[in-house]
Amino acid sequence: MSLITQIDQEIKQAMLGKQEARLRGLRAIKSALLLARTEKGASEEISQETEIKVLQKLIKQRKESADIYKAQNREDLYKIEAEEMEVIEGFLPKQMDRGEIETYLKDLINRVGATSVKDMGKVMGAANKELAGKADGKTISEVVKQLLG
């Protein structure tokens, strides 16, 4: 079952259950996926990899907005962003914790043959491809710098 079909079903359930926060998050996902599908050069069906990137982009937008609202003491708006973020995260693969990322990257560094910070580009390219959707790029970058530095 494609993600958009799953989202449609979830929207119906949220409407029946009168779950406003869940409904907002689901509608945001559906909107972003439809936009991705209609972008220039995109095929009718979008890949799972593209779906994950779209969801990650939505999470990032919500985090940035939530941080701004928190800084401006707007708890009402912060709560809305946090609720939507929680709904969107439910459709992403389980995120790896820092320890798991570190273990994985040690193995990857050995496989790639990286020895210094100069090889960071090689490691980051492979890591971003293999850990897409499972780990945040910023965290991956920090751990690679730490391991190679």
pTM, to two decimals: 0.73
Kindly report the CATH number assigned to the domain that includes residue 70. Answer: 1.10.1510.10
Q: Rounded CA gap, 94 and 146, in Å?
A: 24
Domain boundary among 71, 89, 107: 89
| Beta carbons of 81 and 65 less than 8 angstroms apart | yes
The 10s digit of each residue's pLDDT in 44-87 is 678 888 888 889 899 999 999 999 999 999 999 999 999 999 99
**pLDDT at position 83, please?**
94
84 and 103 in one domain?
A: no
> Tens place of pLDDT for every residue, the chain, 149 residues?
688 889 999 999 999 999 999 999 999 999 999 888 888 666 667 888 888 888 989 999 999 999 999 999 999 999 999 999 999 989 888 888 888 888 888 888 888 887 888 888 888 888 888 887 788 788 888 888 888 88
Q: Rounded CA gap, 144 and 141, in Å?
A: 5
Could you give the percent of the chain with pLDDT greater than 90?
A: 38
Q: Which amino acid is at 79?
A: K
How distant, in Å, are the alpha carbons of 4, 8, 99 from that of 1?
8, 11, 33
How many independent structural domains does the chain possess? 2
**pLDDT at position 46, please?**
80
Euclidean distance between the first and the last CA atom of the chain, given in angstroms as a whole number: 44
75 and 110 in one domain?
A: no
| Beta carbons of 62 and 88 less than 8 angstroms apart | yes
